[in-house]
Amino acid sequence: MRNLITILFFSLSSFTILSQETTILEGKIIDTTGSIADAHVVNRTTKKGAISDENGKFEISVSINDIIEISSIQHYKRIITVTKEIFDLKKLECEVFLKSNLLNEVEVTNGDLFSRFQSTVDPKMQEIALVSAKNTLDFSNVKPVANSDYNQNDEVNKRLNNIVDPTKRFEGASFGFALPFSRIKKDNKQKRELRYKEKFPKLLKAKLGADFFHKKLGIPKDKYHNFLLYCEPLGIENLFKNGDIIGVMDIFFKESKTYLKLIHR
């Protein structure tokens, strides 16, 4: 009995000493575009922090089981527990994920259509638009009529008025601007939606954690993307985009049971 107590005492003492031992952790923060500068790294356990340099690197004092929080304005927050493996390696590379900042559609009034069109369209498109407008508003070929009695002839008067009246010359010009602008706006929206759809699996796993899918739900790692496609018709992307995380998790809990039965048949 005494020997057992002695062994237990030394085991607890060793664990305490090990847990209190500290080391300097050298880390690097990255995302899909490269290194992340000015990210905040905080050891929640010791309340000490650091900021990543221009190469995304940082140094911070840690012990085993310390909680490290990594945050950046443009990225989702990451929480990392210092394991014995991390502690022994003394190095850590952490990937963070960009937040999806989607802009709302902008309605443009006729009054400022041209100025906004000019500032958002590429130079080649602007040149085409300016040449089109110049040709539409060009009155250099309009010549005065020598016959002062032209008003006596209604048909001649009608034709001359159609030529001289600048509003007639301008008809159709606004349509030339609106059509390419609407196409550009539609293309940009489709590109934003495509970029969000590509990032969605990573954003989702960063938010809920890999253990949620592979341990709690039991989804195999190689079936993660397939499971998301299975749940996609239920609107999980829109729910996640609108911040309804509980709604997304509820769908996953319900659908995972059916999905696992299907893949294990």
Residues 22 and 90 in one domain: yes
Classified as helix, coil or strand, 106 is: coil
| Domain assignment of residue 256, given as a range | 209-263
Q: How far apart are CA 35 and CA 213, in angstroms?
A: 28
The C-alpha atoms of residue 260 and residue 257 are separated, in whole angstroms, by 5
User: Which pTM value belongs to this model?
Assistant: 0.35
Tens digits of residue pLDDT in 161-175: 554 444 444 455 444
152 and 86 together in one domain = no
6 with 50, same domain? yes
Domain count, the chain: 3
Task: Round to whole Å and give the CA distance between 146 and 139.
Answer: 18
Same domain? For 226 and 144 the reply is no
CATH number for the domain that contains residue 81: 2.60.40.1120
pLDDT tens for the chain, residues 1 to 265: 556 555 555 555 554 545 579 999 999 999 988 899 999 999 999 999 999 999 999 999 999 999 999 999 889 999 999 999 999 999 999 999 988 654 444 444 444 444 444 444 455 555 544 544 455 445 555 555 555 454 455 554 555 455 444 444 445 544 444 556 566 666 777 777 778 788 889 998 999 999 999 999 999 999 999 999 999 999 999 899 898 999 999 999 999 999 999 988 7
Do residues 227 and 213 lie in contact, with contact meaning Cβ atoms separated by under 8 Å? yes
Q: How many whole angstroms separate alpha carbon 1 and alpha carbon 138?
A: 107
Query: Do 7 and 90 belong to one domain?
Result: yes
